[in-house]
Amino acid sequence: MNQQTYLHVQENKKYTAHLAGNVLTVTGSEMGTEIPATASEGQAATFNVEESADKIQLLSKNATAGSSLVAMEHLFTHKPDLKAIALNQQSVVRADFYQNPSLWCAYGTQNVKPEQWMYSGNVYHPIRPQQKPGELLYSRYIPSIGKTLSFRVMDVERDLKTFHFWHNQPYVNEFWELAKPEAELKEYIEKGLADLHSIPTFVEFDGVPVGYFEMYWTLEDRLGPYYESEAFDRGFHLLIGNMDYLGFKNTDAILKSATHYLFLEEPRTRKIMAEPRSDNQRIIRYVETFSAWKKLKEFDFPHKRAALLECRRERFFMGNFL
């Protein structure tokens, strides 16, 4: 835990946190050049760390908001049993800290607009925002895998060949049934980018494409009529296409980060849903280990027998899964 680099997404700035003894130093960097993390030229933010059984006290006179958040992230990330941090006598508990979007999420409470509604697909629903191709949505360092995970909106020209390769692997096609030519998959991606109810994204580890994450609003989705869907419920489909990154630890990192992102991106989202095929034992077994998620029932889509999975905001954040 001596040194780690973090991306502050909303500042679009990298910070390096270094702990030596009881002194934590946080230095900002921009365009590959080290810059002070404070307004005082030539200085980094320094924190004196005083640790007790379940709480850490940080003391600093020269920290900015960004460097303070990074200091807390460094300690919470590397101390999974730590319950709270007091910064200059103001206490922050773990569950509250991980509901602050500014470090990891490009969108958050400052982007929330008054609800405007529209009618489409035989249902009234809020007008949804649209992200730009290639846009970074979320980034967070994951200590369990030692990598920075990110979600970014797909870019057709950049991502089509990788997307095509993944879908033409038998273990992916078994559940997705999209082993199609590039031209057809290009249309699929372009349709997803134009459709406000869904966002096609790539999952990356340290900038390496790992998988495909398709998030959607359930109210206007085909899933909406099969349960009591609410205005800001989210759902997703996921595949890990890069075979070098299969395995429990990577799947765990992706699904916990996906859940985190969807709750951060829209603070009015209370539930996240998933509807994998009921015989997809890899996902069903995983949910049994991630207790924020519950299997509610099985039901029949026109094209498949599905399991309905639910994650509630309070179960996720109060369960300390990050």
Q: Which amino acid is at 5?
A: T
CA distances (Å), 309 to each of 114, 240, 254, 256, in order? 29, 19, 17, 14
Which residues does 36 contact at the CB level (< 8 Å), separation at least 6? 27, 28, 42, 43, 44
Whats the size of the chain, residue-wise? 322
The tokens for 105 are 């999420």
CA distance 274 to 304: 14
Long-range contact pairs involving 117-122 (C-beta distance under 8 Å, separation at least 24): 120/220, 121/220
Q: Which long-range contacts (CB under 8 A, 24 or more apart) does 245-250 make?
A: 245/205, 245/210, 245/211, 248/286, 249/144, 249/145, 250/145, 250/205, 250/210
**Cα torsion angle, 78, 79, 80, 85, sign:** negative
Q: Tell me the C-alpha distance between 82 and 91, whole Å.
A: 13
Q: Does the annotation mark 275 as catalytic?
A: yes
Helix, strand, coil content of the chain in percent (nearest 5): 30, 35, 35
Residue 241: other Cβ atoms inside 10 A:
22
Q: Strands 55-59, 84-87: parallel, antiparallel or unpaired by DSSP?
A: parallel
The single residue of 73, 266, 275, 310 carrying the catalytic annotation is: 275
Distance CA 133, CA 194 (A): 10
Q: Which amino acid is at 219?
A: L
CA distance 113 to 95: 25
Active site residues per annotation: 275
